[in-house]
Amino acid sequence: MNYEFRVNELAEEFGVHRNTIRNWIKSGAIKVDKGPGRQYTMEWEDYRALCEKFGRKPRLNPNHHYDPAELQKISTVVELPPFHLDSRRKTLYDDPSWADTCLTCGTCASACPISGIDGLDPRKVVRMAFLGLEEELLASNWPWKCTMCGKCEEACPMDVEIVQLMRRIRSRRERDKVPGPIHKGVVTCLERGNNLGIPKEDFLFLLEELGDELAEDGCTGFKTPLDKHGARLLVTVNSKEPFAEPDDLKWWWKIFYAAEESWTIPSSNWEGVNWGLFSGDDEAMKTIVGRIVDNMRRLNCSALLLPE
């Protein structure tokens, strides 16, 4: 015995948008046969399983004799919490209200500056999460293409937390499968205090040299303030600058000099770019933030400048 339905009928029965049903069909989340006309059919047992996942009471199968225990079981289905499309415990999707919240309108995809690159579409990511396609999302490179700029979320009329979802997907990937450079940056930062592994003596030498250049270039008496206790502002550094664009540091310093700012750069753990945020590594992110907090306390600073 099959369960026959039209897309709009099933959408109404489960209280979701018709596009949601179409997405389920397209993704194989529900197994159906097409036809005739706009009609679809699915195995009665599949229909019952879907009802169970949604905590809904299934219709009675006209061709089946129900014994009282079975009827009792069906009637208790309504006691289940709603929206359990994916019964696996480790689901990405832990806020059932999203299911109906997302309108599949595609506004997020229109706002995304890299939509279409390698097939990335934030709307698809949201739908896949809702459909429980966790393994597929973890294997996908889409969340790693995302710049986490938040434009999709900003544009979403329903406030779906797309950036948070992208990050959660990243955080669930095994660390040795995180894209190489970003993972290496996190590991290097944890081991050596900055993302590019610049040795402390090289960093200090460069900073002093840049300070001397600035003193000769109109900032009379300038000396790079390293580990200056009691400075108001703690300045952290993007390791890319001392590594590749050291002169960029001087533009900030010139402004501080002109403004007579009280500031300092810590001689260790000065990295201001936290790649733990981007790789989804909460522990690493916490450690790196903790180091900055330690520097603030050690030097008794009251304000912080991050390079991003």
Interface residues toward ligand SF4, by CB under 6 A: 102-108, 111-112, 114, 122-123, 126, 146-152, 156, 158, 160, 162-163, 166
* Closer residue to ligand SF4 in complex, CB, 170/228: 170
* Cβ proximity of 42 and 49 under 8 Å: no
CB of 36 to ligand SF4, least distance (A): 31
Q: Say whether 39 sits in a helix, a strand or coil.
A: strand
Cβ neighbourhood burial of 156 (10 Å; 0-12, 13-18, 19+): buried
Closest to ligand SF4 by CB, 150 vs 246, is: 150
Task: Work out how close the CB of 114 gets to ligand SF4 at its nearest, in angstroms, rounded to a whole number.
Answer: 5
CB of 96 to ligand SF4, least distance (A): 15
Judged by beta carbon, residue 140 or residue 264, the one nearer ligand SF4 is 140
| Residue 182 vs 296, nearer CB to ligand SF4 | 182
Nearest distance, CB of residue 20 and ligand SF4, angstroms: 10
Give the CA dihedral 197, 200, 205, 209, nearest 10 degrees: 60
* Continuous segment of H or E residues that includes residue 42: strand 39-43
Residue 220 backbone class (left: φ over 0; alpha: ψ -120 to 50; beta: rest): beta
Shortest Å distance, C-beta 128 to ligand SF4: 12
Q: Which is nearer to ligand SF4, 146 or 288 (CB)?
A: 146
Name the phi and psi angles at 75, rounded to 5. Answer: -70, -25
CA–CA dist 139, 28 (Å, integer): 18
